[in-house]
Amino acid sequence: MAFNKMTLDDIDVRGKRVLMRVDFNVPFTEDKKVADDTRIRAALPSIRKVLDGGGRLVLMSHLGRPKGEPKQEFSLLPVAHHLSELLGQRVGLAPDTIGPEVMLYVEQLKEGSAILLENVRFHKGETANDKEFSAALSRLGDVYVNDAFGTAHRAHASTTGVTEFLQPAVAGYLMAEELKYLGEALENPKRPFWAVLGGAKISGKLDVIENLLPKLDGLILGGAMTFTLDKADGKAVGNSLVEEDRIEMAKALLKRFSSTKIDVRLPMDYIVADKFEETANTKIVDAGKIEEGWSGLDIGPASCKFFTEALQNAGTVVWNGPMGVFEMAPFSEGTRAVATALAEATSKGAITVVGGGDSASALHQMDMDDQVSHVSTGGGAALEFLEGKVLPGVAALTNRN
């Protein structure tokens, strides 16, 4: 799993057209301004490296799901404006993604300047990984850089197809950093190695658990997915979210937990509510004793203590998935407890990796992004990496000799 791909540092960009895939799939405000620029800022080191090195930068990204048709609400124009402000220089938006008019814009680029192509998903050829579309994209660059880890699990034209026509294909700094932290956590973890997995569905984490279990010293499970395990164990879960079609799988997993030497920790108690609302009536209930009409929406205080104690002396922690409905204040304490435990472990020298998605959102909401070793920008990609899957966007990059 060692990272053996060429990176931006392996190429000279001066005078070259650098076609760079970034992940600018960001949310907008109602007045069409960038609401959260985390992903844009994450790409800045690679962007600045090319601009400062005298490259002519051609950026490409998707935004939302326009399904192969140009739709104004998915235009990248607000992103071009925002990026211009961050860089202190104008970044124009091309009128399309490919074609003669776009080529004209690209050919007029001066060294140290950049242009952003319009949304690659305005063309059906992007998600279909169409050869002609990939070839058309490749003609816009002399070298290719992929700095979009968040889309590395997709075999699309802008992530894999283009590399068949354009070499070298190298990793940007964000891509390289993501793979370094995630790769080292799995391949050569500082011990003890703990994983904290949460979220709504056990089905979404089964492959991660399967891949991680042989490597771990300890495993913490929280979030609504634990109710499927509780029900499989014959415990009362009330109206809590349960994947009925995963009960047998959950039984097999519990059997596996009981036969492993790994320290597996499940919630001891929950915060339950009588409705799915911030203003709901709530109470603390022991695991397995949730009455009908009540739903578990967060782990309880005993679980918080049980989980955070385990992480005090961790060497490596990988966290993916919240402990509860953290978006609602009464049900955010479990997720906050885990985030705080990770921050404390980091301050003691642990390597802590937060695997994107809701966990990253929670950390950002709690203003703790800079208190862990690494926050992944790729939810789905990070999850598939933790599952042990090959990411097409990484496999397509040029190997180091």
Give the per-residue SS3 of 147-192: CCHHHCCCCCCCCCHHHHCCCCEEECHHHHHHHHHHHHHHHCCCCC
Instruction: Note whether 100 and 225 are same-domain residues.
Output: no
* Residues 85, 87, 90, 94, Cα dihedral to 10°: -100
The neighbour count for residue 388, using CB atoms within 10 Å, is 14
Q: Of the candidates 176, 210, 244, which is a domain's last residue?
A: 176
Q: What is the pLDDT of residue 166?
A: 96
Catalytic residues: 39, 201, 357, 380
Q: What is the pLDDT of residue 376?
A: 87
Q: Of the candidates 153, 176, 199, which is a domain's last residue?
A: 176
Instruction: Note whether 322 and 374 are same-domain residues.
Output: yes
> Per-residue pLDDT for 190 more than 70?
yes
CA-CA distance, 332 to 325, in Å (whole number)? 6
What's the whole-number mean pLDDT along residues 189-194? 95
Residue 395 within a domain: no
The neighbour count for residue 293, using CB atoms within 10 Å, is 10
pTM of the predicted structure, to 2 decimals: 0.87
Instruction: Note whether 265 and 373 are same-domain residues.
Output: yes
What's the whole-number mean pLDDT along residues 22-44? 93
Q: Are 162 and 138 in contact (CB under 8 A)?
A: yes
What's the whole-number mean pLDDT along residues 152-175? 96
Residue 36 within a domain: yes
For residue 186, name the pLDDT band (cuts at 50, 70, 90): confident
Chain-wide mean pLDDT for the chain? 94
Q: Which domain holds residue 279?
A: 189-386
Q: What type of residue sits at position 169?
A: A
Q: Are 271 and 299 in contact (CB under 8 A)?
A: yes
Instruction: Note whether 46 and 109 are same-domain residues.
Output: yes
Instruction: Note whether 128 and 213 are same-domain residues.
Output: no
For 89-98, 148-157, 318-327, 354-363, which range has the lowest pLDDT when averaged over its residues?
354-363
CA-CA distance, 244 to 111, in Å (whole number)? 59
For residue 286, name the pLDDT band (cuts at 50, 70, 90): very high
Residue 399 within a domain: no
Instruction: Note whether 42 and 86 are same-domain residues.
Output: yes
Q: What is the pLDDT of residue 356?
A: 67
Residue 3 within a domain: no
Instruction: Note whether 301 and 157 are same-domain residues.
Output: no
Q: What angle do CA 65, 360, 305 make, to 5 degrees?
A: 145
Q: Of the candidates 146, 176, 206, which is a domain's last residue?
A: 176
Instruction: Note whether 166 and 220 are same-domain residues.
Output: no
CATH number at residue 20: 3.40.50.1260
- The pLDDT tens digits of the residues spanning 234-270 come to 999 999 999 999 999 999 999 999 999 999 999 999 9
Supply the angle between the helices 357-365 and 379-386 in degrees, to the nearest 10.
120
Supply the angle between the helices 225-232 and 247-258 in degrees, to the nearest 10.
80
Residue 38 within a domain: yes
Residue 400 within a domain: no
CA-CA distance, 223 to 326, in Å (whole number)? 10
For residue 2, name the pLDDT band (cuts at 50, 70, 90): low
Q: What is the pLDDT of residue 383?
A: 84
How many domains are contained in the chain?
A: 2
Instruction: Note whether 194 and 164 are same-domain residues.
Output: no
Q: What is the pLDDT of residue 365?
A: 87
What's the whole-number mean pLDDT along residues 109-122? 98
Residue 234 within a domain: yes
Residue 397 within a domain: no
Instruction: Note whether 205 and 107 are same-domain residues.
Output: no
What's the whole-number mean pLDDT along residues 313-339? 95
Residues 6+ apart with CB under 8 A from 275: 281
Tokens 């992944």 -> residue: 376
Instruction: Note whether 139 and 244 are same-domain residues.
Output: no
Instruction: Note whether 158 and 220 are same-domain residues.
Output: no
> Per-residue pLDDT for 1 more than 60?
no
